[in-house]
Amino acid sequence: MSKDTDTTETIYQFECDNIKGEKIQMSEYKDKVLLIVNTASKCGFTPQYEGLEKLQKDYAEKGFSVIGFPCNQFGKQEPGDSETIISFCDLTYQTSFPLFKKIEVNGDNSAPIYQFMKSQAPGILGSQGIKWNFTKFLINRNGEVVKRFEPKDKPENLISQIEELL
């Protein structure tokens, strides 16, 4: 991941590899409301893929996108490679939202975009660590982190806050 000099303090300063290994400038998502989620295919929260896909379908035309970052740091619940993850998401949930390469969200190897989002929207009692899969970050059209949601926060319960930003 690299930084852009003219877009500091937003997610637009980052470059991330999509699930196919292509480098994507997050500035490609300028002017969109985003919900960035660390996902896993073998987690108790995995059924949230259905709600995430519904948000994608319902709001994509209004300038919204879910972005999934698979992560295997919690209970080894995302053990597969990129092809396995794509296949699971396509076959089980028919996902249409962008998926990125599997990353770490905590620790020394935490992806820079996650380091940034955690610093902008700390969790309970100011902690920056991600507690589990399906932690969600809501990003406004300017690339700023607006809010962090815990894994137990279901996608359908975020609709009013997404609509406010659209």
How many other C-beta atoms can be found within 10 angstroms of the C-beta atom of residue 81? 11
Integer CA distances (angstroms), 34 to 16, 116, 166, in order: 15, 15, 10
The amino acid at residue 164 is: E
Cβ-based neighbours of 57, under 8 Å, separated by 6 or more? 96
Which helix (DSSP H) or strand (DSSP E) does residue 166 occupy? Answer: none
How many residues does the structure list for the chain?
A: 166
**138 sits in which H/E element:** strand 136-139
Whether 43 is a known active-site residue: answer yes
Are the C-beta atoms of 138 and 35 separated by less than 8 Å?
Answer: yes
Catalytic one of 16, 43, 71, 89? 43
Q: Rounded CA gap, 150 and 102, in Å?
A: 20
Q: What are the residue numbers of the active site?
A: 43
